[in-house]
Structure 1
Amino acid sequence: MAALVLAVMLVGCAPKPAGQATSAWDVSAAQREGELVVYMNSDGHEDVTDGFQRRFPKIKVRLVTLTSVKIRERLIAETQAGKPVADVAWSSTMDIQVKLINDGYAQTYRSPEAKGLPTWAVWRDQGFGVTAEPIVFAYNKKLLNEAEVPRSHAALLAALRADPDRWRGKIAMYDPERSGLGFMYMSGDLQVYPDAQAMYDALAGSEPGLFVVGSSMLNSLTDQHVMVFGLTQTFAEWWARRRNPDLGYVVPSDYQLLISRVAFITRSAPHPKAARLFLDYLMSDEGQRRLAQSGLPPIRSVGGATALGLGARPIRIGPALLANFDQGRRTELLDTWRAALKQ
């Protein structure tokens, strides 16, 4: 009993990190755990993880980069086998994250930092969206005249209809059948754009290059395709800065799907307190600044909610995304897509 009282007293004396609302108890426990494993589906988070490591040097961070589908498969397999799993799963494929949460692979954490997020970005105190990223059109400045670049979804549909030969074999996109992102983008477009089905039919008829990996898709712009349909602004900016300065992008003027990278603490996290500390860091003022430095649009500005543009259509984190896993709906959408590809 005396040892327990002493431990409580020591934690009560432990300083909370400045600018972060994590409890002193969780901070001390996280530092004793000393390790954090994060499964994520993209690179480019150096500023964020470096910032966390500088703030909490006693915690060793290990990042494992996987596709969103592989994150799901690995997390399920490791949990069912009783093997060590990641502490945090962090991915831009929102529907897969929601499915994992709904199926019981996440644990609840009433984060004191979550109050700074918009309501659409938090679900069941388990899934937390920490970025706000528009989906854009990307293009190769050397291969496509700027005047030809469609500036909206409506303009893209009109261009495909007016001159199909011009675009045949020239557009790259995520494969809705094999890519989690590709299916999520298609599903999102169909929910917010009345002419989305006609647009996807026209895209299918243009004999597009279909990809699962975003880097392969963008590499194809150098010699094969002139335009990418459906890419986060974040990835486009990072690619232009690091890989190909000839890459340009357009934020569609009629509407922009807005995705958020969703993070959650896994149900069997070996280091749950370190996971809490990392989630709170991502949502804190410093974490949001670090995300911005990494080229990831933060979900809020420091001290307040992010002001979204008039055309922003945020994809809400929650049960509506589970419709993407309804086999009847999925089969119907993909059958329509396959039929358009064959025409």
Structure 2
Amino acid sequence: MIRPLSWLLLSLWSLAAAAEETLHYPADPEAGAPQSLVIHAALDLPQARPLLEAFHRRHPRIELTYRNLTTLELHQRFLDAPDTADVVLSSAMPWQYYLANDGHAQPIDSDAARRWPAWAQWRGELFAFTFEPIVMVVHRRLLERFGEVRSHGDLLALLDNHTEALAGRIVTYDPVRSGAGYTYAIEESRLSPRYWDLVSALGRARTVLVDTTGEMLDGLEQGRYLLGYNLLGSYVRDAVADKPDLVMVVPEDYALVTQRLAFIPRQAPHSEAGALFMEFLLSEEGQRVIAEQTHLGAMHPGLSGTGTADALRDEVGDALRPIAIGPGLLATLDRLKREALLARWRREFQREVPPQR
């Protein structure tokens, strides 16, 4: 097992903005003996609120406190105080797997958990509950000038053929500063033999490197960038819904899929309430809320149609590449492997970069 991540957290901690957001739902005094439930999460409020409200309607006697943090804040807070939250959920798959693998998650014995797909859980302790593609966002000005970009191959050809015209107009994650960006980099380097060619082409085009999907979307909406690479699709769908100048593209050659992972800590102060929430999260009722009221992608095997993993599979087919829940995620947190991959990433990205004018 990988031991404490102080080396990684110290290198990234200063980059995580302290921006905790809290929602509180008081218990209904007429609903019976009150219970408490504390959820620590890395899931923005617009996406979380429909789930929380639906759960609270079903369990009105539960006083629910929801704290939304950045992925790194969430992880550090858990390490500092593993007995303060009843449910922990996050899109940082390697960090969540690390905690479960290190013995911090308790097994969940419920009908919903037993029926959950084997590929979407680990040891009955850690559960994926969303299905979110990693996408590109293309500005219509780029489409009108250069044509459609449907795949990574199309993007590579575009960058090779129009390097100067696109200089400074492409944006993506910085894998050095962003945990998500690094996770996608390590997964793509395994998936695609041309990944390093693409990194080099991004470097030649002086691609702008940022820390979050939100920063990329802001620049795309303002017209500073013409193409964003490797954005979180669940956030993109909301952003482009009323932006006719922006088009979301799920790459047709391969598309990474990330999943938010949830667990009940072994030291949860209110584990019974945590189990009720996990049961709801994995139930058809809870997953229907995800499908109909969010863009997170429902995974329940009994659901199909808009807003579900099945619908995305129908749209994209075999190109989907869900990030596997298993020991391979720990490679993301291995210090030597991280340093080796980032060293190559810097080398490829900086190679043959034209001088700034």
Q: TM-score, normalised by structure 2?
A: 0.80
Aligned pairs for 1:135-214 within 5 A: 135-142=134-141, 144-145=143-144, 148-214=147-213
Query: Residues 86 and 217 from structure 1, CA distance in 2 versus in 1: closer, same or farther, beyond 3 angstroms?
Result: farther
Give distance in 1, aligned partners of 2:247 and 2:152. Answer: 17
Which amino acid in the other structure matches residue 171 of structure 1? I
Unaligned runs of 5+ in 1: 1-29
Aligned pairs for 1:1-343 within 5 A: 32-43=34-45, 44-79=47-82, 84-142=83-141, 144-145=143-144, 148-221=147-220, 222-241=222-241, 244-292=243-291, 293-302=293-302, 306-307=309-310, 308=313, 309-343=317-351
Q: Which deviates the most, 318-327 or 148-157?
A: 148-157
Q: What whole-Å deviation, never above 9, does each CA across 1:113-148 have from its counterpart, x for those lacking one?
A: 124432221001111001112111012335653853
Shift of 1:161: 1.5
Give distance in 2, aligned partners of 1:209 and 1:318. Answer: 32
Give distance in 1, aligned partners of 2:328 and 2:245. Answer: 38
- The aligned length equals 309
Greater RCO, 1 or 2 (C-alpha within 8 Å, sep 6+): 1
Shift of 1:60: 2.3
Query: Residues 271 and 151 from structure 1, CA distance in 2 versus in 1: closer, same or farther, beyond 3 angstroms?
Result: same
Contact 2:201 2:349 in 1 (8 A): no
Q: What whole-Å deviation, never above 9, does each CA across 1:311-341 have from its counterpart, x for those lacking one?
A: 1111111111111111121111100112233
1:138 partner SS: strand
Q: What whole-Å deviation, never above 9, does each CA across 1:21-61 have from its counterpart, x for those lacking one?
A: xxxxxxxxx97533332322433222111111111111122
Give distance in 2, aligned partners of 1:31 and 1:104. Answer: 32
Contact 2:88 2:263 in 1 (8 A): yes
Give distance in 2, aligned partners of 1:319 and 1:326. Answer: 11
Query: Displaced runs of 4+ in structure 1, greater than 6 A?
Result: none
Give distance in 2, aligned partners of 1:340 and 1:136. Answer: 22
Unaligned runs of 5+ in 2: 1-31, 352-357
Shift of 1:234: 1.2
Q: What whole-Å deviation, never above 9, does each CA across 1:188-210 have from its counterpart, x for those lacking one?
A: 11111121121122223322222
Q: TM-score, normalised by structure 1?
A: 0.83
RMSD between aligned residues = 2.2
Give distance in 2, aligned partners of 1:216 and 1:78. Answer: 31
Give distance in 1, aligned partners of 2:263 and 2:164. Answer: 45
Q: What whole-Å deviation, never above 9, does each CA across 1:235-288 have from its counterpart, x for those lacking one?
A: 11112237x453321110111111111111123222211111111111101111
**What's 1:21 paired with?**
none
User: What percentage of aligned pairs have identical amino acids?
Assistant: 34
Query: Residues 204 and 70 from structure 1, CA distance in 2 versus in 1: closer, same or farther, beyond 3 angstroms?
Result: farther
Give distance in 2, aligned partners of 1:245 and 1:101. Answer: 42
**What's 1:24 paired with?**
none
Q: What whole-Å deviation, never above 9, does each CA across 1:142-188 have from its counterpart, x for those lacking one?
A: 56538534210111111111221122211111211111110111111
Query: Residues 155 and 41 from structure 1, CA distance in 2 versus in 1: closer, same or farther, beyond 3 angstroms?
Result: same
2:225 partner SS: coil
Query: Residues 31 and 157 from structure 1, CA distance in 2 versus in 1: closer, same or farther, beyond 3 angstroms?
Result: farther
1:176 partner SS: coil
Give distance in 1, aligned partners of 2:33 and 2:196. Answer: 51
**What's 1:27 paired with?**
none
**What's 2:17 paired with?**
none
Give distance in 1, aligned partners of 2:100 and 2:244. Answer: 38
Contact 1:151 1:251 in 2 (8 A): yes
2:81 partner SS: helix
